[in-house]
Amino acid sequence: MAREDINITPSDRGNMIRVGIIGGSGYTGLELMRILLSHPEVEITAVTSRRFAGRRLGDVFPHLMHLTDLKFEDVSLESISNRADIVFTAVPHTRAMEYVPEILRRGCRVIDLSADYRLNTRVYEKVYGVKHRDPGRRAVYGLCELHPDVRDADLVANPGCYPTGAILAAAPLVRAEVVDRVIFDAKSGISGAGAEPTNTSHFPNLAENIKPYRITTHRHHAEMTQELRELDPARIGFTPHVIPAIRGILTTAHILLRKPVEPDEVEAIFDGFYDDKPFVRVGGIPDLASVRGSNFCDIGFELEEGSDRLVVISAIDNLVKGASGQAVQNMNLMFGLDERMGLMVPGLFP
């Protein structure tokens, strides 16, 4: 089948892409491992973890037993750069900007999964309240459906999970100039908060519950306003919630229209925009069950009769299309591969 040709035919480039992962014991690092272990053109040469340095991955994370002989190593930028064509930095923000400049200087390309290179320096320092140690560095925002120029980038800033779902839901309509204002009401699984136990991730606090947080002040708002720049930031609202689920973000975009549109116009706008985008699936009412574990973003919409409200729903797996899967999609493009390679896998349904 078509999709198999994609996944298994080895390219004619004789050698595999050598990949290094910095921050291999967090959820995004582990998800990179999960995806790249099945990637036909990749050889993982280094995975770092300060905490688990020296231990085999499968001994620390049993789901990887029998699947790799790799051991976690401590962070040595020199050593990793010598063994990798590309390095994924899956570390907290502020940590990435300590590593990236040297890795680039040593001739490796970088995909940074942190927030450090997603915004221009001025905005970053305002939103994150820290001084940027690598100001002005040029990076491409790695939402490749909007930024095909990731192909030529040495440094890709992988988008945040919420912005991925929100921007993919609204961008086609904003570009089509039919949007007056948008409110993103997002519902996320708790894995987005990371692997460290907190009061929010404490099972008795989250099960049978749903918790809104940073109701009008979430940092990801800045990425949405940057990518939907045709709209005044004050006309882009964002309110996130955590739900009792491990993975997934469902974004309900309440769009107030600038002018009346018909359902088939909306459909035409989405189809035109995502026609050649393999990981965006338009149609039906999305939910998390259909994207769990996969790199797809499912999008559906409904126009309110007798009103100017258009509701667009998007669903992604926050750890795949919202993080590590999108990073691998970017890597494919950066190395001239089919962007689908290693990613055309069905979600885990049920």
Site string for a second copy, 102-121 (x = CB under 8 A): --------------------
Q: Of 108, 144, 161, 297, which one is the catalytic site residue? A: 161
SS3 19: strand
Q: How far is the CB of 217 from a second copy (least distance, A)?
A: 8
Select 76 or 217, whichever has its Cβ closest to a second copy.
Answer: 217
Residues 317/325, Cβ–Cβ less than 8 Å: yes
Among 92, 177, 180, 348, binds a second copy (CB under 8 A): 348
In whole angstroms, how close is the CB of 209 to a second copy at the nearest point?
5
Spacing of C-alpha 139 from chain mean position? 15
User: What are the φ and ψ backbone dihedral angles of 267, each rounded to 5 degrees?
Assistant: -60, -40
Subset of residues 133 to 162 that bind a second copy, contact rule: CB under 8 A: none
Closest separation between CB of residue 248 and a second copy, Å?
7
Nearest distance, CB of residue 71 and a second copy, angstroms: 14
Q: Which of 348, 340, 347 is nearest to 7 (CA)?
A: 340
Q: Which is nearer to a second copy, 75 or 243 (CB)?
A: 243
Q: Residue 251: what residue type?
A: T
* Residue 14 CB partners (closer than 8 Å, separation 6+): none
Contact between 165 and a second copy (CB under 8 A)? no
DSSP 186: E
Q: Is 161 a catalytic residue?
A: yes
The residue range among 30-38, 139-147, 257-265, 329-337 that interacts with a second copy, by the rule CB under 8 A, is 30-38
Span 274-333, contacts to a second copy by CB under 8 A: 278-279, 281, 283-294, 296, 298, 302-309, 311, 313, 319
* CA separation for the pair 38, 28 (Å, rounded): 16
Cα 200 from chain centroid (whole Å): 22
Q: Provide the residue type at 225 as one letter.
A: T
Interface pick for a second copy out of 104, 123, 243, 268 (rule CB under 8 A): 243
The contact mask relative to a second copy for 251-270 (x = CB under 8 A, - = no) is: -x-x----------------
208 Cβ neighbours under 8 A, 6+ residues apart: 244
Q: Which of 76, 149, 230, 349 binds a second copy (CB under 8 A)?
A: 349
From the CB of 211, what's the least distance to a second copy, in Å?
A: 5
Q: Which of 43, 98 has the CB closer to a second copy?
A: 43
Tokens of 126: 């305002």
DSSP class per residue in 306-342? TSSEEEEEEEE-TTIIIIIHHHHHHHHHHTTS-TTTT
- The residues in 194-223 that bind a second copy, with binding defined as CB under 8 A, are 195-199, 201-213, 215-217
Residue ranges in 33-72 that form contacts with a second copy under rule CB under 8 A: 33-34, 37-40, 43-44, 61-69
How many binding residues for a second copy (CB under 8 A)? 102
Backbone region of residue 293 per phi and psi (left: phi > 0; alpha: psi in -120 to 50; beta: other values): left
Nearer to a second copy, 38 or 76 (CB): 38
What token pair was written down for 5?
A: 């040709």
State the first-to-last Cα distance of the chain, in angstroms, to the nearest integer: 24
Question: In the complex, what is the shortest distance from the CB of residue 164 to a second copy, in angstroms, rounded to a whole number?
Answer: 17
Distance between CA atoms of 74 and 46, rounded to whole angstroms?
10
Instruction: Pick the closer one to a second copy by CB: 93 or 340.
Output: 340
Collect all residues with Cβ–Cβ distance below 8 Å to 339 and sequence separation of at least 6: 144, 278, 279, 329, 332, 333
- For the CB of residue 317, give the shortest distance to a second copy in the complex, in Å: 9
Region near a second copy per CB under 8 A, out of 32-40, 90-98, 108-116, 132-140: 32-40
- Hey, is 249 helix, strand or coil? strand
Active site residues: 161
